[in-house]
């Protein structure tokens, strides 16, 4: 399936200095984030939490993530969608199948990491890495399988020389962009940018190892894409905790001055219009 020009990240990067991707955890959060940003990130952390109620340590089934992306694409036909596919769900053949499926339903890109199982969030300690040559086999196959899909190669290495070696190797075989997860100092970005002729991706996550940075700071450092992994998930957790406490403190009396049926229903009907527009456009 040819990716429409409006969803092609390679074309977008020719015209934009930096693209922020907002991490979403379900279709509802995606539809809200889409009102403010034109690029969404399907976060493995957020999906594991929302779909299974479990931590991001390898529970995600590839069929679940593909179905989720399809639902998001149905109501948001014009947004960029970047998908976290972890390690490609272990096996190289599975990784290639997932990439084909995601491209066929309109994903804009994927992030493939070099962790091995048991995997974990990139901002936690104790990560295990595949050997570089082992990961390159998988990466090459994925790149050979995709047609126009944008492929980000992610390394979870922490040693500066290992980071550089892996980034150069992944770039050399054709990855479209490089993500070094868990960077602790923004000063690491400029020399990395100088060493590889590929766009760099920076992962922002509240409470993570990387320092919080503005888009301008990241652009000046040499970053081209920024994925905000979990802002919607963490905002939802905070809001639900607050409202449940209020409901209990008020003896079950609902707070009237917040979102209610009219506001939510308007938003949901807008999603329906977007879905119907896509269906009619595809006919």
151-187 pLDDT, tens digit per residue, is: 999 999 999 999 999 999 999 999 999 999 989 899 9
Lookup: tokens for 148:
């126009």
| Residue 192: other Cβ atoms inside 10 A | 21
CB 147 within 8 A of CB 103: yes
Phi-psi group of 252: left, alpha or beta (phi > 0 → left; psi -120 to 50 → alpha; rest → beta): left
Looking at the DSSP assignment, which residues form a beta bridge with residue 20? Answer: 226
Looking at the DSSP assignment, which residues form a beta bridge with residue 201? Answer: 179, 225
- Over residues 64-90, the pLDDT tens digits come to 999 999 999 999 999 999 999 999 999
Tally of residues, the chain: 283
Looking at the DSSP assignment, which residues form a beta bridge with residue 155? Answer: 180
Q: Which CATH class for the 5-243 domain?
A: alpha beta
Domain ranges of the chain: 5-243
Give the percent of the chain with pLDDT over 70.
92
Lookup: tokens for 213:
């940075």
d(CA 269, CA 271): 5
- Predicted confidence at residue 237, as pLDDT, reads 97
CB 142 within 8 A of CB 96: yes
CA dihedral of 204, 205, 210, 216, whole degrees rounded to 10: 30
């Amino acid at each position: 399936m040819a990716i429409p020009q409006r969803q092609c990240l390679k074309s977008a990067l020719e015209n934009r200095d930096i693209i922020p991707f907002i991490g979403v955890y379900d279709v509802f959060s995606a539809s809200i984030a889409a009102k403010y940003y034109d690029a969404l990130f399907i976060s493995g952390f957020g999906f594991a939490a929302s779909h299974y109620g479990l931590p991001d340590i390898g529970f995600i089934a590839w069929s679940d993530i593909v179905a989720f992306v399809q639902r998001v694409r149905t109501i948001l036909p014009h947004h960029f969608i970047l998908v976290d596919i972890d390690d490609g769900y272990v096996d190289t053949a599975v990784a290639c199948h997932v990439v084909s499926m995601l491209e066929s339903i309109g994903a804009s890109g994927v992030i493939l990491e070099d962790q091995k199982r048991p995997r974990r969030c990139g901002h936690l300690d104790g990560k295990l890495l595949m050997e570089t040559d082992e990961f390159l086999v998988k990466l090459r196959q994925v790149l050979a399988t995709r047609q126009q899909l944008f492929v980000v190669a992610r390394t979870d290495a922490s040693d500066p020389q290992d980071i550089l070696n892996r980034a150069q190797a992944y770039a050399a075989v054709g990855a479209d962009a490089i993500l070094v997860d868990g960077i602790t100092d923004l000063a690491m970005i400029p020399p990395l940018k100088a060493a590889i002729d590929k766009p760099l991706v920076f992962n922002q996550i509240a409470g993570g190892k990387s320092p919080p940075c503005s888009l301008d700071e990241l652009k000046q450092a040499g970053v081209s894409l920024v994925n905000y992994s979990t802002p919607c998930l963490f905002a939802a957790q905070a809001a639900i905790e607050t409202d449940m406490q209020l409901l209990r403190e008020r003896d079950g009396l609902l707070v009237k001055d917040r979102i209610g049926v009219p506001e939510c229903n308007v938003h949901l009907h807008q999603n329906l219009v977007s879905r119907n527009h896509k269906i009619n456009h595809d006919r």
